[in-house]
Amino acid sequence: MKKILILVMLLVLSTAALGAEFALDQGSVGVGGAILFSSSGGDLYSNITYTAFTLAPSLSYMLVKGLEAEVAMAIQTASQGGVSIDSLLFGIGLSYHFGAEKGKVAVPYVSSGISFGSDTSDNSLMDIIFGAGVKMFLNEHISLNVAALYYLEKVTPDGSSVSTSGHTLQLSMGLSAYIF
C-alpha cells in the first residue's frame, strides 16, 4: 500500500513539474468560441451569393508548444435569395502558432481541419478548412482571435450518391480562454 501511495505522489508531482507555463505551452487547455461571417460562390451556389453567420464553440489542447488540437461545433444560419438554411457541424483541426513564447502579445498561426454535419434541407455536409490568423493576448489566459478561413465544401442530398462542391471565404473573430 505504501508503494502505491508513493507511486501516486510521484505521478502527481511529475505532472505538476511538466505542466504548461503559458497559454500556448504543452498541456494547456483552451475553451473558446468564434463568430464568423462568410460569403460563398461557385457551382454549389448556382452563382447566386450565399451569406452565412456562424457561432462556433470549441475546446482545444496544446499537444506540444505551439501545436494545438481542437474539436469544435458550428451552428450556422444562412440565406440565399430569400431561402434560409440552418446547419449543425462537428469538426477537428490543428493549428500551429509561430513564435509561441511566454509573454508574447500577438502570435500568428495557420490552421487546417475537417468538419461533418447536416442542414435543414436534409443535406450531408463536409468541409475541409484552411486558415491563417493571429491571437492577440489580452492577458496571459485570454486571447482575441482574428482569422481568415477558406473552406472547400461538399454537399450531398440525403439518399443521393451525387454531390456538389463549392468554396467559402470566411472571416472569424473570437475569444479563447486557456487553463494552465
172 vs 70: CA distance, rounded Å:
16
In 19-82 the beta strands, taken as DSSP E runs, fall at: 29-41, 50-64, 67-80
Domain 2-179: which CATH number of 3.40.1350.10, 3.40.50.12160, 3.10.310.30, 2.40.160.20: 2.40.160.20
Q: Supply 40's cell numbers.
A: 460563398
pTM: 0.81
Give the Cβ contact number of residue 146 at 10 Å. 14
The pLDDT tens digits for 10-31 are: 544 444 445 799 999 999 999 9
Amino acid at 67: L
The pLDDT tens digits for 56-86 are: 999 999 999 999 999 999 999 988 778 899 9
